[in-house]
Structure 1
Amino acid sequence: MSWIREGELNLLEKISANILMAGPMPKHVAFIMDGNRRFALKKKLERHDGHMQGFNKLAETLRWCKHLNIPEVTVYAFSIENFKRSKEEVDGLLDLARQKFERLLEEQENLEKHGVCIRVLGDLNMLPLDLQEVIAKAVVMTKNHNKCFLNVCFAYTSRYEITNAVREMAWGVEQGLIKASDVSEALLSECLYSSNSPNPDLLIRTSGEVRLSDFLLWQTSHSCLVFQSVLWPEYSFWNLCEAIVQYQLNHKSIQKARELHRDEQALQQLEADCACIAEHLQHQGNGKPADAQRRQEALQHYTVAREERVQDFLQALKHKRDTFFTNLCSETVLT
């Protein structure tokens, strides 16, 4: 079944969508698509069939998001913790992913028509090589599309992502691209798998569970979190509308919290820069305090140099990540 569903909303859905869109709308929605196994048990189906129904619901939900002008969606497709499930279920999930990404490659014209960019966030090295290759093809094929974005978190947990971001910064220091003093909260954000995306405005978890299960812990610190009891394969347009209303009711407080956090980050960076300059000037002046003008000039010079180092490092990191996907595609061609 296709990832990209065509079709209009019915009349009542259109009216409701227009009313919703008169208020503030989330630009990025994240889903923890929970309840596939319980749905299968409830309907007396095989687990695999429950996961298949879950994928079908994702395709339908993406259609709703398109009509609601939500340009970016992130989904928790496969946690690193899922590898601990039975071999039969893990193999079934990986086979399903393989089938769906292969189908995605067949939809190139449709993806281009709608401008869909597919990103896969996680450690692909944990996956079978053939699955890595088909995922890489989908990512590279759609990387220049910019109308809407689907981020698929696969072989992912947030703690692993944060740990990996720390490793990337350590690599930058080892390579001489950045200094240890350049490491900051803002830089760590830029080293996450999700660095190309704004943080989610709204995170939705289905099935009645009220925990994040190690999903986007860093990115959702100032997001609206909505927990709904419906099982994911039974998710409806009206469930999505309900979650958006919750976002709209909390929009002002969310925006205020984000602004305060941005101000706090800027202040922390300024204080860190000032501390570096003070230490540098103290060494240069044999312990004598520098005048205000000299401190200001040194601060401006240091800030520009730090920003240039950070941008060069981020470009090198992007190149490293892009090369990983490109090389996987090249290996497929060679074989």
Structure 2
Amino acid sequence: MSWIKEGELSLLEKFSANVLKAGPMPKHVAFIMDGNRRFAVKKQMERQEGHMQGFNKLAETLRWCKHLDIPEVTVYAFSIENFKRPKDEVDGLMELARQKFEKLLEERENLEKHGVCIRVLGDLNMLPLDLQQLIAKAVLTTSSHNKCFLNVCFAYTSRYEITNAVREMAWGVEQGLIKASDVSEALLSECLYTSNSPDPDLLIRTSGEVRLSDFLLWQTSYSCLVFQSVLWPEYSFWNLCEAILQYQINHKSIQKARDLHQEQQALHQLEADRVCVAELLQHHGNGKPADDQKRQEALQHYAACREERIQNFLEALKHKRDSYFDDLSNDAILAEEGSEK
């Protein structure tokens, strides 16, 4: 099955899509694609076939999202916790991933036509080396595309992601790129795997489970959460419409909460800057109080310097992460050239 499933909506689906699009639409939807194994049991098929049907449903869902003008989708493909499953099932999932990323590379022209950018988020070092290399090639092949984005969370949990973000900030302090006082909620967000994406507007979990299973815990604090009883391989266009309708019903309250949070973040940052500036002025002024103008000028200068430090740190972090994919891709090319000789 292709990553991009062609085809138009039916007349009824088109009509319903147009009705939905008259209201506020989510720009980023996340899916916990749950129920593949239960679907396999229900249909009396092998587990691996259930997972294959789940991937086919993802391709179909991406087509629906395209017609609904949803430009970004994030999916929970493989949790770090999934490594605890039976070895034959884990091996089967790794092989399925190999097949699908090889297929993706074969479809590069189609992905370019649709402008699909594939990002893979997680600790890829946990995966077999050949799969890491395939993923790196797929990510680099589509990195310049910017019409729509598919984020595949693989070897991922949210707690691991947040822990890794803290490590990245600690690295920045150790390297002298940022100061400990620069560490903030906003900076941590920039160090997450999802730093290139806006937070999801809508998160959907299928199969009837009503928990997030360590998926995008930080990013979905102000998202609409919809839990649906349908098994993922049986997901339909109408299930997606139902979830979007739930988002539209709750849109105002969600947006209000997001706006309030952003205002509070800005106020917290301003207060933190004032504390740092007051300490600096007191130190350099031998304990003498500074006038209001001097404090304001110092505050502006400090904020500008902090922003410059943070931007330099984020550029260094991006270079470090890009180098990981570049090195993997280059190693794969060298290995292919060596095998041909």
**What's the TM-score bracket when you normalise by the shorter of the two chains?**
over 0.9
1:131 is displaced (CA, Å) by 0.1
2:112 paired residue number: 112
2:133 paired residue number: 133
1:244 paired residue number: 244
Supply the distance in 1 between the matched residues of 2:285 and 2:322 (Cα, whole angstroms): 45
1:334 is displaced (CA, Å) by 1.1
Supply the distance in 2 between the matched residues of 1:16 and 1:334 (Cα, whole angstroms): 51
Q: Which runs of 5+ in 1 are unaligned?
A: none
Deviant stretches of 4+, over 3 Å? none
Equivalent residue of 2:225, what SS? strand
1:67 paired residue number: 67
> 1:175-254 residue pairs with structure 2 within 5 A?
175-254=175-254
1:318 paired residue number: 318
1:232 is displaced (CA, Å) by 0.2
Supply the distance in 2 between the matched residues of 1:321 and 1:234 (Cα, whole angstroms): 37
Supply the distance in 2 between the matched residues of 1:287 and 1:82 (Cα, whole angstroms): 58
Supply the distance in 1 between the matched residues of 2:288 and 2:46 (Cα, whole angstroms): 76
| Aligned-partner residue type, residue 169 of structure 1 | M
| Aligned-partner residue type, residue 302 of structure 2 | Y
Q: Deviations over 1:169-204 (max 9, x none)?
A: 000000000000000000000000000000000000
2:165 paired residue number: 165
1:140 is displaced (CA, Å) by 0.2
1:6 paired residue number: 6
Supply the distance in 1 between the matched residues of 2:228 and 2:299 (Cα, whole angstroms): 50
Supply the distance in 1 between the matched residues of 2:26 and 2:250 (Cα, whole angstroms): 11
Supply the distance in 1 between the matched residues of 2:288 and 2:81 (Cα, whole angstroms): 56
1:67 is displaced (CA, Å) by 0.3
**Number of residue pairs matched by the alignment:** 335
Supply the distance in 1 between the matched residues of 2:170 and 2:189 (Cα, whole angstroms): 14
Supply the distance in 2 between the matched residues of 1:333 and 1:72 (Cα, whole angstroms): 30
1:56 paired residue number: 56
1:333 is displaced (CA, Å) by 1.0
> 1:3-152 residue pairs with structure 2 within 5 A?
3-152=3-152
Q: Deviations over 1:259-282 (max 9, x none)?
A: 000000000000010000000011
2:276 paired residue number: 276
Equivalent residue of 2:192, what SS? coil
| Aligned-partner residue type, residue 274 of structure 2 | C
Identical positions, percent: 83
1:286 is displaced (CA, Å) by 1.2
Equivalent residue of 2:304, what SS? helix
Work out whether 1:295 is the aligned partner of 2:295.
yes
Supply the distance in 1 between the matched residues of 2:26 and 2:272 (Cα, whole angstroms): 33
Supply the distance in 2 between the matched residues of 1:288 and 1:24 (Cα, whole angstroms): 54
Supply the distance in 2 between the matched residues of 1:327 and 1:268 (Cα, whole angstroms): 39
Supply the distance in 2 between the matched residues of 1:109 and 1:3 (Cα, whole angstroms): 12
Supply the distance in 1 between the matched residues of 2:333 and 2:163 (Cα, whole angstroms): 33
Equivalent residue of 2:120, what SS? strand
Equivalent residue of 2:247, what SS? helix
Q: Which runs of 5+ in 2 are unaligned?
A: 336-341
Supply the distance in 1 between the matched residues of 2:107 and 2:266 (Cα, whole angstroms): 43
Work out whether 1:155 is the aligned partner of 2:174.
no
1:52 is displaced (CA, Å) by 0.3
1:62 is displaced (CA, Å) by 0.2
1:144 is displaced (CA, Å) by 0.5
Equivalent residue of 1:3, what SS? coil
TM-score by length of 1: 1.00
Work out whether 1:330 is the aligned partner of 2:334.
no
Supply the distance in 2 between the matched residues of 1:311 and 1:169 (Cα, whole angstroms): 13
Supply the distance in 1 between the matched residues of 2:273 and 2:256 (Cα, whole angstroms): 26
Equivalent residue of 1:250, what SS? helix
Equivalent residue of 2:140, what SS? helix
For the aligned residues, what is the CA RMSD?
Answer: 0.4
Supply the distance in 1 between the matched residues of 2:86 and 2:278 (Cα, whole angstroms): 58
| Aligned-partner residue type, residue 107 of structure 2 | E
| Aligned-partner residue type, residue 203 of structure 2 | L
Equivalent residue of 1:75, what SS? strand
1:224 is displaced (CA, Å) by 0.1
TM-score by length of 2: 0.98
Supply the distance in 1 between the matched residues of 2:175 and 2:272 (Cα, whole angstroms): 22
Q: Deviations over 1:221-250 (max 9, x none)?
A: 000000000000000000000000000000
